[in-house]
Structure 1
Amino acid sequence: MKKEILVVDDQPGICMLLTDILTSEGYHVETAKTGKEGLDKINNSSFHLLMIDYKLPIFNAFEVLRRMEAENRIVPTILMSGMTEDDIREKEDCSKIESVLSKPFNIHEVCKLVKATIG
């Protein structure tokens, strides 16, 4: 059975790139363009991994994580951002995040990070 990954990013190019990369690695990938759309998908399906952009329309990544926690939905999460990990950790409680993937990212780094997180 393929592991399910949800990619939430408002940039269609990022969603397409990650879908192509992760599908070729044997994962099943779904995408969402907004935090709200991502949250709806999380509430209606089961995912092994959430890859979510920090800045999103409607709900940002941390609002999505807060709402997931309120619903008792725990999904390993990789945060994607143009900011550095230190900048994000200064602003937000990152205890719900497995790791931060800085944009622009290296394709090999993405694969390594996903494998390390969910196998």
Structure 2
Amino acid sequence: MDVLIIDDEKNIRQLLKEILELNHFKVDTAKNGRDGIELFNKNSYKLIFIDKRMPGISGEEVFTEIRKTNKIIPVYIISAFQSSTEIEILNKGNITGVLMKPFTIQEVMKIVRKHLG
């Protein structure tokens, strides 16, 4: 599997999945943090997108769980807004980057090509 998308917003999950599958990448999606962690633990991914704010387990908590077992996989946080404090906290946790909403197809594909060729 190439990419894991964890986002509670169905439209975001579907949009990212369609963009990536049209470009011949294999994609798994999860509608919440718990499902995302389960998929991550069962499968191998090359790139992960995580929504920052989700009910239940937040994107930051999912990121922390992923980093406990994999320190190098590229992880991008999807967010509508970021304070400089939040970005500093994420950077200390070795976050790869932030995909700001609203995002373009070009922005998504730039990230994907950077990590998956």
TM-score under structure 1 length normalisation? 0.87
Measured against aligned partners, the alpha-carbon deviations of 1:43-100 in whole angstroms (never above 9, x if no partner) come to: 0100111111001122111111222233x2342101110013635314x232421110
- Structure 1 gap segments, 5+ residues each: none
Q: Distance in 2 between matches of 1:85 and 1:78?
A: 16
Do 1:5 and 1:29's aligned partners in 2 also have CA atoms closer than 8 Å?
Answer: yes
Matched residue, 1:107: 105
Q: Distance in 1 between matches of 2:83 and 2:41?
A: 27
Matched residue, 2:23: 25
Matched residue, 1:89: 87
* Identity between Structure 1 and Structure 2 (%): 32
Task: Output the aligned Cα RMSD.
Answer: 1.6
Cα distance, 1:118 vs. partner? 2.8
Do 2:50 and 2:63's aligned partners in 1 also have CA atoms closer than 8 Å?
Answer: no
Q: Distance in 1 between matches of 2:45 and 2:81?
A: 26
Q: Distance in 2 between matches of 1:85 and 1:115?
A: 27
Matched residue, 1:65: 63
TM-score under structure 2 length normalisation? 0.88
- Structure 2 gap segments, 5+ residues each: none
